[in-house]
Structure 1
Amino acid sequence: MATIATYLLAAVAEIGGCFAFWAWLRLDRSPLWLIPGMASLALFAWALTRIDSDLAGRAYAAYGGIYILTSLVWMWLVEGSRPDRWDTLGTVLCVSGALVIIFGPRGGQ
């Protein structure tokens, strides 16, 4: 479960950091939004290196599914737009794939 929590931390940090840029460039917010945004992106990078994986590519691939789930939760809670059935179906497919990557037996690898 620590792996999932670390992936979630990374996802929230990445989305928050990217949203700071979105807010500045698309929502006409102050450039000061970039200060916590860049700190959040640094936290994202740090968190992703804490994943228990021998291979960066595998950690990043599994992260993709968790990122998609977290992005849609962000869309719902922060932006006020509820995911539709296609968002939900796509998320289920992606998270299922991520869980296979995270928890799949490696057979001695």
Structure 2
Amino acid sequence: MMLARSVALFVLAALAEIGGAWLVWQGIREERGLLWVGAGVLALGTYGLLVTFQPDASFGRVLAAYGGVFVAGSLAWGVVVDGFRPDRWDLTGAAVCLAGVALIMYAPRP
């Protein structure tokens, strides 16, 4: 149950952070306006809140592991939202990052 909760929190945090950054990008770079930027800032704040609910108490461990989720999630966001087509190296890199997440967060510890 703790594993499922942790994974769900990572996925929600990635959606909030990547989505928030995308909204800010759209607001500024694509000139969609301050409402897009404001929505992005709120989403980024939500990301910051979500990661605090991880069961592990170590900030460094949680953020290090989240980095791998961010990498894989960013590629997935690009596929779904921007029509990005990852190559085998993108996919291999994402797999390596997710393996790192598993080692950092879920390896048995004494």
Asked if these proteins are the same fold (TM beyond 0.5), I'd say: yes
* Unaligned runs of at least 5 residues, structure 1: none
* Aligned residue in 2 for 1:21: 24
For 1:25 and 1:34, the matched residues in 2 are separated by: 7
Q: Which runs of 4+ in 1 moved over 3 A?
A: none
SS at match of 1:78: helix
Count of matched residue pairs: 107
Asked if residue 100 in structure 1 is aligned to residue 99 in structure 2, the reply is: no
CA deviations 1:18-39 (Å, max 9, x no partner) are 1111112221211210121111
SS at match of 2:82: coil
CA deviations 1:20-64 (Å, max 9, x no partner) are 111122212112101211110111001000011121000001111
Asked if residue 69 in structure 1 is aligned to residue 62 in structure 2, the reply is: no
1:95 shift after superposition: 0.5
1:100 shift after superposition: 0.7
Alignment RMSD? 0.9
| TM-score, with length taken from structure 1 | 0.93
* Unaligned runs of at least 5 residues, structure 2: none
